[in-house]
Structure 1
Amino acid sequence: MNKIIYIMGVSGSGKSTIGKLLAQDLKIPYFDGDDFHPESNIKKMAGGRALNDDDRHEWLEALNKFAKGKIKESSCIIVCSALKQKYRETLRRGLLNQVKWIYLSGSYEQIFERVKNRTDHFMPSNLLESQFEILEEPEEALKLDISLTPSQITQIIKSEFMETSEFGLFGLGVMGKSLSRNLANNGFRISIFNRHVDGVEENVAKDFKAQFPELSNASAFDDISSFVNSLEQPRKIMLMVNAGKAIDHVIEDLLPHLSENDILIDGGNSNYKKTKERIEYLKTKNIHFIGTGISGGEEGALSGPSIMPGGDREAYQLVQPYLESISAKDWKDLPCCTYIGPEGSGHFVKMVHNGIEYVEMQLLAEVSAILERLGKTPDEIADSLERWKETADSYLLGITVTILRKKEGEDWLVKKVLDKAGNKGTGNWTTIASAELGVPCTLIASALFSRFISFYKEERLLLNKTFGKVNDSQLNISTNEILEAYQFARIINHYQGFKIIEEASRSYSWDLNLSEISRIWTGGCIIKSDLMRDLVEIHKETSNLLANPQLIEKLNKARPSVKKVVSECLLKDITTPAFSESVQFFNGITTAYSTANIIQAQRDYFGAHTYKRIDDESGKNHHTSWEQ
């Protein structure tokens, strides 16, 4: 992959000298950024006046346009002061994964001596001070001391950029392997690591590399020190290990080998509270930590997942080119990856994503059970769901159709799958978080508890013998009514899921963008759907989905159907907890005067907790001796 190597620093730091030497050694073109200044800028500096941001804008835009054109032909070196972060952002716009920065660093005294002795440059030495005043040292650059000789500097650059990897992947489980191949397919030089355990895990990284041609330029390791030292600085290492204590053990194993400003990216399903703790801990070591949710499973990780990074924004910008390049793309070809927010917000959003996913899966399972009760075979159920794609398409709907069609011999494979559903913790965490934040995510809790009930297989078999007589009479519902009930419940599910994100954003001061979160969930992830795409625009207008006219119309239209479906299933002993809860929640959230008056009176009776009165606008607390 062609690269633009920007050599930056204040005037007189030796950019041109280093740039020419490096270009000669690498046999690539060299360009001086000063040649792109408009005449007005040159005259201003020659007259002893410092450039301002407006002066530099046209110059930076011209350089960026030139770089984007040049990179189509070959790599090249451009020397340019690029003193502010926003200048660098302009210079690399549209080139995110193809830019390398070299920063030549020196003291004012060192560089002043050089500048005042120059006779061939339009900028006088008295402007040097103004450059130091606006200088924002880049974290993403290879920083080199100008006290070194030009040959030493160029040798270090060649060693760092031409002989080291850009990105490291630690842990080669299913997701780690797919992400490694994704990175390599996007042209990145990567190092991959997997632990060595005698007789259990031996030569995993090397054997994996040998399997796939795209990994021919990757470096494979089972020694941590060698792995870390193979990476250019600041190092960027994605951890793909099991969430929990394993992450902390890996961090401690890596720390002795890391340097200041290195970046660790946790790509697993970690608890957002633990992510916040790790960020704070690693700050004391001057190491960046980015908690990153990744959705899409094995296939998504390889072809393009939805990526949800959270943590320090400046640190994210250093890994942005890599994460955006490997992510899925939305319908506008934009990356399904965005900076979520500070602290553990990335992992929080991924946690809620999984909670929404639990409900979407449960609803489709309930739909299948209802259609089966109507006498349909798995193939016929699949045919019905296939037709639903016209109005309710989603990734999960699509894979459910495929699952239902799969046969083993003369029978459908799905009938042979043991009915005990597992979970990996994110549904639990979402339910706990909803309780902590006071948000009624009742469908997520219901879907989670349905999985828990399924796990009591032996007890269910015993109780079925005792209580198992069911009303198996014909259901009085149509396939279209089931579809409308499904659409109703899905809207309620998404309302609850985004409501907890909104509340977390407010409670933790994260400033989360619900529309942008919706957008990155339209591609690559498990809950991508036509509904999610609609939510991108809806969330630009409101954070309350139940206030949107389009969704209000759909809910009103589907409400009779969902009530009928739930009633019929209840009468005919079909378990539909998610459908049922969608109706109960909707009834509760749309009730003007709830039963909570009784609850509050009871609390006041036995605990003197007091209550407020609807006929007292002062908001005063009241207490009553109820037996007197």
Structure 2
Amino acid sequence: MALLFAEIGVHVSLSDPSEEAMDAVMQKAEKQGYHGKVDKYTDYDSLCKSLSSPRLLVFSLPHGGVGDKVLEGLEPHLSHGDIILDCGNEHFENTERRQDKCKGTGIRYIGCGVSGGYQAARAGPSMCPGGDISTLNEVLPLLKKVAAKDKNEQPCVGAIGKGGAGHYVKMMHNGIEHGMMSAISEAWGIMQKMGMGDEEIGDVLAQWNSEGELRGTFLVSIGADLSHKRDEGRLVISQVLDKVVQDVTGEEGTGVWSNTEAIDLHVSAPTLNVSHAFRLASAFRGDRERAKKTFDGGFPPNELTVSNKKTFIEDLRQATYAACLASYIQGINVIATADRAHEWEIDYSQVWQIWRAGCIIQADYISDEILAPVLKSKPSSEDLNLNFSSRVAKDVMKCFPALRRIVAKSVETNQVVPAISATLEYFKVVSGTDLPTSFYEAELDYFGSHMFDKKDDTDPNVKKPVEGKYHFEWKPATSQKEQYGKNYSL
């Protein structure tokens, strides 16, 4: 990001615990023609003295205690009105805690989610800043220069909302990302079991990315690209081991947080939840090898034979799209629920804009056809649930038969489809009004006296998530003597 700011003419003062890392950036700056635009500093005092007031300090740090330590070291050298722009993947509660801490000293702290990977960090990322609105408006002119631009040359950055809203929206962006990645990976696995080679699969993904509901989907486009990459004559993808470790190693916290938030806020998000569980299980390769032996070879996917390859691949495309759409629906529903709880006053038209380019979940069709009609109107969080959108319903109903066929064929042939199958169940459940949870509720009342509502009750509260009014004495409680009869003894 230092080079990105230097490219637009900003003089950058650079500080990092690793002088070697700073030297590498300095060398790149020289090679790219930014002589004199980037200077390095090994202590906070000289760093802060190099900047004019009000200073703008940009953090690009790992989440957690590192940010607290850096902030503590900087504070004695900062002045009233200075701005810290935290561009790390920080937890929103840490962001809000630091914002509160900085208020007492007059320092302004903005939590800014940044998406797009290291390539976008250099070429222009999607940026998601949240905090004090007047401070956001102060930094936005600069951020608009470095942010990614959509197809209409509009910057993918905007004032998202108060407090930790920026980091929260970025966190849920990553949850959506994981759901989409799982679905696309599952589609890749199915095509492999159809006997398709990686380059043929890459061609299919390129076609998906060029038209239809997956048009302009970044994760599909890079899947098409990586399917053709070779190293020393071999396809690189053929050498990649089947484990995702970023959650377990701790370098990626947003996957855990996004799922925890969905659960804590009581938002149904099974596509996101199961995608995360899939990643977790994949990380423990050694455990999976042991379980495979225990289960006498496990339950590997069978080779998949279909009567009409073209028709089946079209079904697979629609099923993959349905899971990507479900990921968006679930993620945005979590954001809206958190917005109501924290009173961030999120601007959903800006959420729509920042996801139009430069970010991992960029999906042109979803953005143009699904999100634009809902989010551009700046809905309140009270009114926002994408499952109530007629435009969403149109696509779900169109894709549902294909989604069902893909899941059925996958179950029949042992294909690995956690996100795709969870999506099928999700749409069945969220639109269902005769669920087997009646039996679930009855059992809860049986052993726990948890109460239930009755089907013929006309009270409007039965439509809300509130405790029921009725209890039935399914089995009276008994004493130990009554319970054990002849076998009872003191």
Could you tell me the TM-score, scaled by structure 1's length? 0.68
Q: What are the equivalent positions in structure 2 for 1:542-621 lying under 5 Å apart?
A: 543-618=384-459, 619=461, 621=469
For 1:552, give the aligned amino acid.
A
Deviation at 1:473, TM superposition (A): 5.0
* 8 A Cα contact 2:302 2:415, kept in partner: no
For 2:4, give the aligned amino acid.
N
SS in 1 for 2:407: helix
For structure 1, the 5+ residue unaligned runs are 1-178
C-alpha distance after superposition, 1:371-426 (max 9, x if no partner): 11111000110111111121112111111111111123443211111211122110
Taking a change above 3 Å as real, the CA distance of residues 202 and 369 of structure 1, as seen in their structure-2 partners, is closer
Q: What are the equivalent positions in structure 2 for 1:264-279 lying under 5 Å apart?
A: 264-279=84-99
Match of 2:353 in 1: 519
Cα distance in 2 between the residues matched to 1:411 and 1:206: 35
Q: How many residues get paired?
A: 448
Deviation at 1:203, TM superposition (A): 4.9
Cα distance in 2 between the residues matched to 1:514 and 1:374: 41
C-alpha distance after superposition, 1:230-266 (max 9, x if no partner): 1111111001121110000000010010011111111
SS in 2 for 1:214: coil
Equivalent of residue 257 in structure 2, options 410, 413, 429: 429
Establish whether residue 538 from structure 1 lines up as the match of residue 374 from structure 2.
yes
Match of 1:455 in 2: 283
Cα distance in 2 between the residues matched to 1:232 and 1:589: 54
Match of 2:115 in 1: 295
Match of 2:464 in 1: none
Establish whether residue 413 from structure 1 lines up as the match of residue 236 from structure 2.
yes
Q: What are the equivalent positions in structure 2 for 1:159-178 lying under 5 Å apart?
A: none
Establish whether residue 468 from structure 1 lines up as the match of residue 298 from structure 2.
yes
For 2:419, give the aligned amino acid.
A
* 8 A Cα contact 1:519 1:536, kept in partner: no
The higher relative CO (CA closer than 8 Å, separation ≥ 6) is in: 2
SS in 2 for 1:428: helix
Cα distance in 2 between the residues matched to 1:302 and 1:501: 28
Cα distance in 2 between the residues matched to 1:308 and 1:540: 16
Match of 2:483 in 1: none
Cα distance in 2 between the residues matched to 1:259 and 1:573: 62
Taking a change above 3 Å as real, the CA distance of residues 567 and 331 of structure 1, as seen in their structure-2 partners, is same
Cα distance in 2 between the residues matched to 1:522 and 1:495: 16
Cα distance in 2 between the residues matched to 1:471 and 1:239: 45
Cα distance in 1 between the residues matched to 2:300 and 2:10: 60
* 8 A Cα contact 2:48 2:78, kept in partner: yes
* 8 A Cα contact 1:292 1:346, kept in partner: yes
Cα distance in 2 between the residues matched to 1:204 and 1:221: 14
Taking a change above 3 Å as real, the CA distance of residues 183 and 262 of structure 1, as seen in their structure-2 partners, is same
C-alpha distance after superposition, 1:311-358 (max 9, x if no partner): 111121221122111001123222100111111110000000001111
Match of 1:105 in 2: none
SS in 1 for 2:111: strand
Cα distance in 2 between the residues matched to 1:302 and 1:537: 32
For 1:537, give the aligned amino acid.
P
Taking a change above 3 Å as real, the CA distance of residues 431 and 320 of structure 1, as seen in their structure-2 partners, is same
Deviation at 1:533, TM superposition (A): 3.1
* 8 A Cα contact 2:300 2:414, kept in partner: yes
Match of 1:192 in 2: 14
Cα distance in 2 between the residues matched to 1:428 and 1:471: 28
* 8 A Cα contact 2:299 2:414, kept in partner: no
Match of 1:34 in 2: none
Establish whether residue 498 from structure 1 lines up as the match of residue 332 from structure 2.
yes
Cα distance in 2 between the residues matched to 1:299 and 1:555: 33
Match of 1:441 in 2: 269
SS in 2 for 1:380: helix
Match of 2:475 in 1: 627
Establish whether residue 396 from structure 1 lines up as the match of residue 219 from structure 2.
yes
Q: What are the equivalent positions in structure 2 for 1:36-435 lying under 5 Å apart?
A: 179-195=1-17, 203=23, 206-207=26-27, 209-389=29-209, 390-391=211-212, 392-393=214-215, 394-423=217-246, 424-435=252-263
For 2:263, give the aligned amino acid.
A
Cα distance in 2 between the residues matched to 1:215 and 1:221: 16
SS in 2 for 1:285: coil
Match of 1:99 in 2: none
Q: Which has the larger radius of gyration?
A: 1
For 1:343, give the aligned amino acid.
G
Cα distance in 2 between the residues matched to 1:192 and 1:222: 9
* 8 A Cα contact 1:195 1:223, kept in partner: no
* 8 A Cα contact 2:3 2:29, kept in partner: no
Taking a change above 3 Å as real, the CA distance of residues 617 and 202 of structure 1, as seen in their structure-2 partners, is closer
Cα distance in 2 between the residues matched to 1:196 and 1:354: 28
* 8 A Cα contact 1:442 1:585, kept in partner: yes
Cα distance in 2 between the residues matched to 1:196 and 1:367: 41
What value does the CA root-mean-square deviation take over the aligned residues?
A: 2.0
Moved more, 376-385 or 612-621: 612-621
Cα distance in 1 between the residues matched to 2:34 and 2:360: 26
Cα distance in 2 between the residues matched to 1:353 and 1:291: 15
C-alpha distance after superposition, 1:257-309 (max 9, x if no partner): 00111111110000011111111111122211101100011111111111000
* 8 A Cα contact 1:192 1:220, kept in partner: yes
Cα distance in 2 between the residues matched to 1:213 and 1:271: 36
Moved more, 612-621 or 551-560: 612-621
Match of 2:314 in 1: 480
Deviation at 1:205, TM superposition (A): 6.0
Match of 1:36 in 2: none
Cα distance in 2 between the residues matched to 1:229 and 1:600: 65
Could you tell me the TM-score, scaled by structure 2's length? 0.87
For 2:121, give the aligned amino acid.
A
Cα distance in 1 between the residues matched to 2:227 and 2:292: 26
* 8 A Cα contact 1:471 1:573, kept in partner: yes
SS in 1 for 2:84: strand
For 2:367, give the aligned amino acid.
M
SS in 2 for 1:191: strand
